[in-house]
Amino acid sequence: MNILFIFTVAALRSKIKVMKKILPWSILISFVVLVGTALLFMIDDFSKSISYSPEIVLPKKETVSLFLVGDMMLDRGVELMIKSQGKGDYRFPFLKIADYLNKADILFGNLENIISDKGTKVGSIYSFRAKPAAIEGLTFAGFDVLSLANNHAFDYGRTALEDTLLRLKDAGISYVGAGLSSKEAFSLIIKEIKDTKIGFLAYTNLGPEVWQARNQNPGIVWIDSENFSQIKENIERAKKEVDVLIISLHSGEEYEKKPSQFQIDFAKMAIDSGADLVVGHHPHVVQPNEKYKEGWIFYSLGNFIFDQSFSKETIQGLLLKVIIKDKKIAEIKQKKIQINQYFQPTID
């Protein structure tokens, strides 16, 4: 029995030694668990008190919107509607669309008439001269650049063309494809918006060569296939000065739904030379468009404001909404234009 007692005591002493070693660690572990649990509850309560935004919103890259429209004429039947329906207010043709146009950073169109009270009719029966008050409608619509390289520039002679250029200049509207001298007519028009430089050039192969601006004489930029090399150099030089280059061509056959070979050859030459977008005018109907290499070609935008209500095709047109991002064309949206019975364009 004494031996059993001795073994029991020895066993107890051994357990006590083990407990002495384990106990501090047990206490420490329990303390860590308790502190950790408390911290978790504190962190949970703190995180609930913080207001988080539902999403991280990155700053949007700035874009430039450029609108381009087709043939625009403010004489003849359009002038009649201005007088009879618009009480002489030259804003009348633009009333249905001005709000939309004013969303553009830059607005471009082809002006198919001179604006003057000077000159004598030297053209055909289809000669157009709008009253000086027509400027009010153009500024109301927000036009920034107008092409005058077309077959109506000389309807009332050189004097009326010169007067038109001066009136546009006074109104703060840039013109392209015509000028008071050869240098001005061939000059690149640059509009800088949101740190992006957009350039405009305009050409036509219609009308006689004598309409060409020469030296200090007012005129237009008249071309043919024989001086493509000169135009190519002109476009290449212009592209070096801008981020985006727009070319306007007044050419083709009236009311034809397909482009002529000259239109095709010129447009592709222009893109090959550095143009980003080529837009056409004169056929008075919408023609096909295509993506060519790194550029876009719209052979004819059709009518924008005109009194040609004799067919469905001539009271329709296209408005191009060109989105420019990172100094290059990111997208081109086509908006259908429908001209109503008062010769007012509307977005269809």
- Interval 183-240: pLDDT, tens: 999 999 999 999 999 999 999 999 999 999 999 999 999 999 999 999 999 999 999 9
pLDDT for the residue numbered 123: 80
For residue 2, pLDDT over 70 is answered with: no
Q: For 140-155, what is the mean pLDDT?
A: 98
CATH superfamily of 65-347: Metallo-dependent phosphatases (3.60.21.10)
Q: How far apart are CA 134 and CA 88, in angstroms?
A: 10
Instruction: Using the predicted structure, report yes or no on whether residue 341 has a pLDDT greater than 70.
Output: yes
Q: Of residues 16 and 123, which shows the higher confidence score?
A: 123
For residue 272, pLDDT beyond 80: yes
Q: SS3 for 247?
A: strand
> What's the pLDDT at 28?
54
Give the pLDDT confidence score for residue 325 in this predicted structure: 98
Tell whether the model's pLDDT for residue 74 goes beyond 90: yes
Is the pTM of the predicted complex or chain greater than 0.85? no
Q: Which of the 8 DSSP states describes residue 105?
A: S
pLDDT given for residue 124 in this prediction: 87
Average pLDDT over residues 91-109: 98
User: Taking the domains of the chain in order of start, what are their residue ranges?
Assistant: 1-52, 65-347
- Give the model's pLDDT for residue 5: 45
pLDDT at 20: 54
Neighbours of 295 (CB within 10 A): 21
268 half-sphere exposure, CB direction, 13 A CA radius: 11
CA atoms within 13 A on the CB side of 331: 8
- Whether residue 178 is predicted with pLDDT greater than 50 in this model: the reply is yes
Can you give the pLDDT at residue 4? 47
3-state secondary structure of 332: strand
Q: Is the pLDDT of residue 52 over 70?
A: no
Give percent of the chain with pLDDT exceeding 90: 81
**Taking 90 as the threshold, does the pLDDT of residue 41 lie above it?**
no
Contact 339, 345 (CB under 8 A): yes
Q: Which tokens is 108 given?
A: 């471009």
Residue with the larger pLDDT of the pair 289 and 45: 289
The mean pLDDT value for 261-290 works out to 98
The rounded mean pLDDT for the chain is 90
